[in-house]
Amino acid sequence: MADNRDTHRTQDLTRRAFLGGTAAAAATAILAACGSSSTATSTPAPTKAPAAAASPAVGAASPAAVATTAPTTAAAATTGTSPTTAPATTGSTSAAPTAAAAAGTPKKGGVLKMGLQGDPVALDPHSTSLTATNHIVEHIYGRLVTIDATLSPQPDLAQSWDISSDGLVYTFKLRQGVKFHKGQPFVAGDVKYSYERVLDPKTKSTSTAGLSSIDKIETPDDSTVKITLKKPNAAFLVGLWSPNYAIVKKEDVDKNGDLTKTANGTGPFMFKDYTPNTKLTLVKNPNYWDTGKPYLDGIEMTPVPDDTARSTAIRTGTVDFVEYAPAKDIPQLKADKTLTIAGDQNTNIRYLGFNLTQKDKPWANPKVRQAISLAMDRQAIVDAAFYGLAIPTLTVFPPGYWATLDTKVPPQDIKGAKAMLADAGFGSGFKTAIKTWSSYPFLSNAALAVQDQLKQIGITADVLPEDNGTFIADNNAKNYEMLVSGTSGYTDPNDIMLSNFGTGLASNNSGYSNPNFDKLVSDGVAVSKQDDRKKVYAQLQQILLADNPWVMLYVGSQYEAMKSYVKGYVHNATGTNIGLKETWLDK
Amino acid sequence: MQGEGAVALPLQAVPEPRRRRAWSALRRQKLAMAGVVIVGFFLVLAVIGPKVSPYDPLKQTIRERFARPSHAHWLGQDEFGRDILSRLLHGAWISFEVGVISVALAGLFGVVLGLVAGYWGGWLDTSLTLVMDVLNVFPSLLLAISLVAVLGNSLRNVFIAIAVTSIPAFMRIVRGSVLSVRQTPYIEAATSVGVPTGRILAWHVFPNVTPPLIVHSSLTFAYAVLAEASLAYLGLGNRPPAPSWGSMLNSSYGFLETAPWVSIFPGVAIAITVLGFNLLGDGIRDALDPRLR
């Protein structure tokens, strides 16, 4: 009997040990599984105002210059874990779109499997400016102009344009014979309707800024659109490339109420179907005006919001192409011989912002903000948030950009910061809270580094990471003390200056107001020569450096990773994937 | 052996105290003893860990990020260059805190509700059981997530969420034991001589439910540690940079390939602690179960 009992116990213990072990293993597995769902987000980057614009004169705007600075700076800055941005990539980004395409004769056919960073959720190009949505609709809808790799405007639905000598009247000659995917002809009235829909308050567009200078739109005939501006705006033309100024057909809106679930455009790809959080399919538009393009038969897009999962997906070949290849994995992805990586520094600015409407708080004092700026170790922030692959910055524009004020990012100056803080009357520090995006490690990690650096000058800050919806609501309602956030996707300096710092604008999240600044902003678009504009933007940046409504932290980078048989893709510094139109599969 | 037992019977008229008997039964189980050792180690770490941790768990040294385990940093450094060992030691206290507070909360409410429902029965029992059944319908982690989402993101609300999701099990265990004890003659006797109900519950009923309660508390402790880690992993509860094991795992699993030590150590800590409490709970159950003795 004793034997019996022992046997029983042994079995029991074995079962138990097994259960225990399984539980422990399952614990980790469950945690991992939960993680991916928690990071499911829809906006890849906190996009604010969409692209506004660069003047034709800006044509030579300079990702070339932007790009060349990148490797050097990165090299100087890197701390071992992160190799420098490969010059090869840089070359293909900036100078050699044709070289990339000429790497072989494009083959037609094949479906590209693409991993998206975010689920688009809604498809109406006018009512949403989420990057995740833009990255879908940019393939479906044509716009009057598009941009090339140097961010200069190129003909799209407008075959040519003429700008009056006073800079007020833009006359667009439209491409003939273009048809919407459902067969309707594209006419001038569609442009007028689309722009007026964006500006109609009922559409609740968050992207009105780029069209707000329009006084009237006339359509003398079906192939001509004449747009008159209220005052000259050098940033107007290139801004029309934005997916948020997509040309849509009125009857689609009338029929469906809005365009959230349907899409009928003139772009290279046609919308086929969409299962939320699962799959979105685009198929080739056989009647695309640019004959012969696109090369692909279609694109199958799957949202893979988790960074690690996205890296794994491209490495294992579950997909052929991923957007937002995570910075943390760039070294491994570059080392992988089966992959090609495109991209480098982009125009995304990451900053520490202050709520300046709270007049009684320490940060209402410019000296406090200056002290905080001095206390920042920006390279450490870049290392923590972007694995060394981004560029520390003092100003809102990336180094090398034509409008960028030449500044040198100083090393962290704790002593100077403390002295300045004491001078402002806060020598013993104060308490505050920093809100940030929980879904973007490149922001929440930056916030944690900022928190640590503020502690060094006696400022105790709580970091409050929030989900996208909460953060956007708090940001818009100015329900915060400080925040670590970002802005992206602009093509003209005016966009950043006006929408983020213009007095009284809803998009001005800090509540900054400086009449002198406002006047200079309008000067910046009133002149059209780039040299003249550059002087204005230099002054504007000096004002921001003195006032610090935002303490700038770094300029981000953005990468796409693809299997090496994916050819012809050209990275664009604004982060758009319009290069897929030229992409083909060599297999 | 049976013969011996029959002979020895008169000698055992005064039984060995139950507690000591349980302990010796427990000591005979190797795995349960492993549980005791693990739990003991965990408790010691949780209490003295924060005092002996070599570095400030929040101190960033970004220049030394992802440093491998070394003499200066035994378990290496994480993505902010923080010392992983120090973070683990402080994290042990957080896990301990969560375990103790949520088990105490759940136990308190579960026991009171169970006693009330089991002793009085009737509509009170029916409605309380119904409420607990409704709570039980939801997977407990899911319910905890929803509760934290509704109540707001703080450690206090994590305690509450974990406690609430653990109450039904406590309540059922106590209620079951009370139902069987209530029928016994000595309760009847106590009632008939006019002992106040409160005293009957506290002195005569409650002691009968302690063995299953101890077992269940140990298992719930394991659940609480795991639930806190899961919630922190999901970004709920402890906010970064607090060194909760779950949030350490959350922020580091992306580097499993490049810097495995950053995620492996917190993962192992969670797994071992949870395993320890489970083994201990199982062992106590067997030790207290007369059928297995």
Taking 70 as the threshold, does the pLDDT of residue B61 lie above it?
yes
Contact A448 B241 (CB under 8 A): yes
In order along its 587 residues, chain A shows pLDDT tens digits of 333 333 343 333 334 433 333 333 333 333 333 333 333 333 333 333 333 333 333 333 333 333 333 333 333 333 333 333 333 333 333 333 434 444 578 999 999 999 998 888 889 999 877 788 999 999 999 999 999 887 889 999 999 999 999 999 999 999 999 999 999 999 999 999 999 999 999 988 878 878 988 999 999 999 999 999 998 888 899 899 999 999 999 999 999 989 999 999 999 999 999 998 899 999 999 999 999 999 999 999 999 988 889 999 999 999 999 999 998 899 889 999 999 999 887 878 999 999 999 999 999 999 999 999 999 999 999 999 988 889 999 999 888 788 899 999 999 999 999 999 999 999 999 999 999 988 788 899 999 999 999 999 999 999 998 877 788 889 989 999 999 998 876 778 888 898 899 998 878 999 999 999 999 998 888 888 888 999 999 999 999 999 999 999 999 888 999 999 999 999 988 888 999 999 999 98
State the pLDDT at residue A205.
84
Listed range (A110-119, A489-498, B52-61, B127-136) with the worst mean pLDDT:
A489-498
Q: What's the rounded Cα separation, in Å, for the pair A259 and A121?
A: 12
Taking 50 as the threshold, does the pLDDT of residue B103 lie above it?
yes
Distance of residue A370 Cα from the nearest chain B Cα, in angstroms: 23
Query: In whole angstroms, what separates CA B124 from the centre of its chain?
Result: 28
Closest CA to B234 of A471, A435, A441, A35: A35
- For B266, the closest chain A residue by CA position comes to A28
Residues A304-352: tens digit of each pLDDT: 988 889 999 999 999 999 999 998 899 889 999 999 999 887 878 999 9
Q: pTM for the whole thing?
A: 0.72
State the pLDDT at residue B182.
87
The contacts of residue B119 (CB under 8 Å, 6+ apart) are B178, B182, B197, B200, B201, B205
Kind of pairing between the strands at A321-322 and A391-392? unpaired
State the pLDDT at residue A65.
32
Residues A202-241: tens digit of each pLDDT: 988 878 878 988 999 999 999 999 999 998 888 899 899 9
State the pLDDT at residue A375.
96
The residue length of chain B stands at 293
- For A13, the closest chain B residue by CA position comes to B31
| Mean pLDDT over the full length of chain B | 87
Closest CA to A49 of A498, A514, A525, A558: A498
DSSP state of A456: T
Interface test with A, best of B62, B155, B231, B244 (most A CBs within 10 A): B62
Provide the pLDDT confidence category of residue B18 given band limits of 50, 70 and 90.
low
Compute the C-alpha angle A522/A525/A531, nearest 5°.
Answer: 120
Contact A328 B271 (CB under 8 A): no
Q: What's the rounded Cα separation, in Å, for the pair A30 and A15?
A: 21
The answer to whether the beta carbons of residues B38 and B92 sit under 8 Å apart is no
Interface test with B, best of A28, A316, A336 (most B CBs within 10 A): A28
Looking at the complex, does the CB of residue A16 fall below 8 Å from at least one CB of chain B?
yes
Q: Where are the beta strands (DSSP E) in A406-504?
A: 431-437, 460-466, 482-487
Looking at the complex, does the CB of residue A332 fall below 8 Å from at least one CB of chain B?
yes
State the pLDDT at residue A469.
77
Number of A to B CB contacts under 8 A, please give it: 113
Contact A380 B233 (CB under 8 A): no
Contact A16 B279 (CB under 8 A): yes
- Contact list in A for residue B287 (CB cut-off 8 A) is none
- Contact list in A for residue B58 (CB cut-off 8 A) is 452
The contacts of residue A571 (CB under 8 Å, 6+ apart) are A89, A92, A93, A149, A342, A343, A344, A558, A559, A560, A579
Taking 80 as the threshold, does the pLDDT of residue B255 lie above it?
yes
- For A38, the closest chain B residue by CA position comes to B234
Distance of residue B234 Cα from the nearest chain A Cα, in angstroms: 6
Strand order in the sheet with A158-163: A158-163, A169-174, A224-229, A214-221
Contact A27 B29 (CB under 8 A): no
Distance of residue B227 Cα from the nearest chain A Cα, in angstroms: 9
State the pLDDT at residue A151.
81
Looking at the complex, does the CB of residue A469 fall below 8 Å from at least one CB of chain B?
no
- Contact list in A for residue B270 (CB cut-off 8 A) is 27-28, 31
Q: How many CB atoms lie within 10 A of CB A110?
A: 18
Which among B31, B230, B241 is the nearest to A31, CB-wise?
B230
Interface test with A, best of B2, B38, B95, B275 (most A CBs within 10 A): B275
Residues B172-229: tens digit of each pLDDT: 999 988 888 888 899 889 989 999 988 988 888 888 888 888 889 999 999 999 999 8
Distance of residue B171 Cα from the nearest chain A Cα, in angstroms: 24
State the pLDDT at residue B90.
94
Contact A81 B235 (CB under 8 A): no
> 17-46 in A: which are within 8 Å (CB) of B?
17, 19-21, 23-25, 27-28, 30-32, 34-35, 38
Compute the C-alpha angle B202/B206/B207, nearest 5°.
Answer: 110
Provide ipTM, 2 decimals.
Answer: 0.73
- Contact list in A for residue B257 (CB cut-off 8 A) is 332
The answer to whether the beta carbons of residues A557 and A382 sit under 8 Å apart is no
Closest CA to A344 of A94, A96, A46: A94
